[in-house]
């Protein structure tokens, strides 16, 4: 069985949905499972709904209506008959969303986030499934929450692999075209959970692992894995073949094409991963598989914007030793900070983090009780794999360097 993952950009409008059909007809769709993200920027719009629910109730209804209007526009282009059952089904999902917000009593932001944001994927897969059926492509819509079971660490849930394996083995018919949602799961109480932002790639890998799939293909609006993000770097080159190890390194450092958690399940069973263009589906793209390394090893550039650099030093000029470092990492863990770079000396410790849960203010307050603290917000973290002097010089030109670190052939630079 093959696993195909289509992200939000591939289904951002009616033409995108029709192009998914074109891709399927080009490459075939028998014995295939589609993992589909929310349409376009729906997840961002749903995050605004959550924010309004907690902070701006007057704007809550209008933010929901914005999401509904967007999807209705797509529906009207795909289904001319407004009595088509898909309209009733999508209306039902929005009614379910409103019902949850009306009856919810939990003050837990992350819990509410997962229950609300998940409707993006439920709606997108519903629309795609009905459209495929309408044009004669039989398919089975699966609620991924019945298959991927997780803990209750909302917004970044951990997978219960044993339960998930059993559910997928017993519940997925490999002979059919199946459609399911990326990013989502459910806990032991059947509350919806999410696997972390951009987690649909990981969903595809979970199904591939449990189904012993022949391959996973991630369909993107780029030709494959590039050595640099073309939004920030000129003359990006396609990497035709890379090893799991290299891909894991690139994903760990922040390459946006592949979700960091995606590769481990695939590597365990040596399932190849293809990253291909949904615009040119016949192009080869990039293949990630066993034992194939970059040759030659050209520099690969990764940038993460909007990071935070925190520099700490002891209040009494004492050494930053194991006890201090242990305290620092516990506070970072409690604040759910994603640590990207650390650097320490005898009396100082610097860490570059991703403040994705907006806990920075609380973290700094706790750190200032124990350390002298300097904080630089909205910095950029550049990572160069297979770095050479020419690549580093080009990267550093005209930038204020706050931190620089080199490990073998990987260089990381924090700038503002």
CA dihedral 103, 105, 106, 112 (to 10 degrees): 20
Q: How big, in percent rounded to 5, are the helix, strand and coil portions of the chain?
A: 40, 25, 35
Q: Where are the beta strands (DSSP E) in 128-272?
A: 140-141, 177-181, 184-186, 192-194, 215-220, 241-243
Helices 14-27/119-134 angle, 10° precision: 60
Residue with tokens 């030109």: 397
Whether the Cβ atoms of residue 251 and residue 267 lie closer than 8 Å to each other: no
394-402 own/partner pairs: CB under 8 Å, 24+ apart: 395/301, 402/309, 402/376
Could you give the count of Cα atoms lying within 13 Å of 391 in the half-sphere of its Cβ? 23
27 near 2, Cβ under 8 Å? no
As beta bridge partners, residue 403 has 414
Query: Helix 119-134 and helix 42-55: axis angle, to 10°?
Result: 140
* Residue 416 assigned to a binding site: no
Pairing of the two strands 2-6 and 32-36:
parallel
For residue 59 the two structure tokens come to 């704007």
Which secondary structure element, helix H or strand E, spans residue 20, and what is its range? helix 14-27
Tokens of 46: 């749903």
Q: Which residue has the tokens 């209750």?
A: 152
| Of 58, 63, 21, 16, residue with least CA distance to 42 | 63
Task: Extract the annotated binding site for ATP.
Answer: 231
Task: Extract the annotated binding site for substrate.
Answer: 121
Task: Extract the annotated binding site.
Answer: 121, 231
């Amino acid at each position: 069985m093959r696993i195909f993952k289509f992200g939000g950009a591939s289904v951002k409008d009616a033409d995108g949905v029709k192009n998914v059909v074109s891709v399927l007809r080009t490459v075939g769709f028998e014995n295939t499972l589609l993992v589909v993200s929310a349409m376009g920027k729906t997840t961002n719009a749903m995050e605004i709904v959550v924010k309004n629910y907690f902070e701006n109730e007057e704007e809550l209804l209008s933010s929901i209506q914005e999401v509904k209007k967007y999807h209705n526009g797509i529906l009207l282009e795909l289904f001319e008959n407004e009595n088509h059952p898909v309209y009733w089904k999508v209306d039902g999902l929005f009614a379910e969303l409103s019902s949850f917000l009306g009856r919810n009593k939990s003050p837990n932001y992350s819990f509410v986030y997962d229950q609300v944001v998940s409707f993006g994927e439920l709606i997108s897969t519903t629309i795609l499934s009905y459209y495929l059926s309408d044009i004669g492509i039989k398919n089975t819509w699966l609620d991924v929450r019945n298959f991927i079971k997780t803990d209750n660490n909302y917004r970044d849930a951990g997978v219960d692999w044993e339960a998930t394996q059993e559910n997928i083995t017993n519940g997925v018919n490999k002979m059919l075209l199946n459609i399911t949602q990326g990013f989502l799961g459910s806990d032991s109480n059947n509350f919806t959970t999410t696997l972390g932002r951009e987690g649909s790639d990981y969903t595809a890998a979970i199904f591939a692992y449990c189904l012993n799939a022949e391959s996973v293909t991630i369909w993107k609006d780029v030709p494959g894995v590039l050595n640099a993000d073309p939004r920030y770097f000129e003359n990006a080159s396609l990497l035709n073949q890379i090893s799991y190890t290299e891909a894991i390194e690139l994903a760990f450092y922040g390459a946006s094409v592949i979700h960091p958690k995606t590769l481990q399940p695939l590597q365990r069973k040596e399932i190849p991963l293809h990253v291909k263009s949904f615009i040119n589906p016949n192009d080869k793209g990039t293949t990630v598989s066993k034992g194939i390394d970059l040759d030659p090893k050209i520099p690969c550039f990764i940038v993460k914007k909007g990071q935070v650099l925190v520099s700490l030093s002891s209040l009494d000029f004492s050494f930053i030793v194991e006890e201090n470092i242990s305290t620092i990492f516990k506070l970072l863990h409690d604040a759910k900070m994603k640590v990207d770079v650390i650097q320490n000396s005898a009396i100082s410790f610097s860490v570059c983090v991703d403040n994705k849960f907006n806990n920075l203010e609380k973290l700094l307050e706790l750190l200032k009780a124990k350390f002298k603290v300097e904080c630089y917000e909205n910095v950029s973290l550049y990572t160069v794999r297979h770095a050479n002097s020419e690549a580093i010089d080009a990267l550093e030109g005209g930038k204020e360097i706050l931190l620089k670190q080199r490990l073998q052939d990987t260089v990381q630079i924090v700038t503002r």
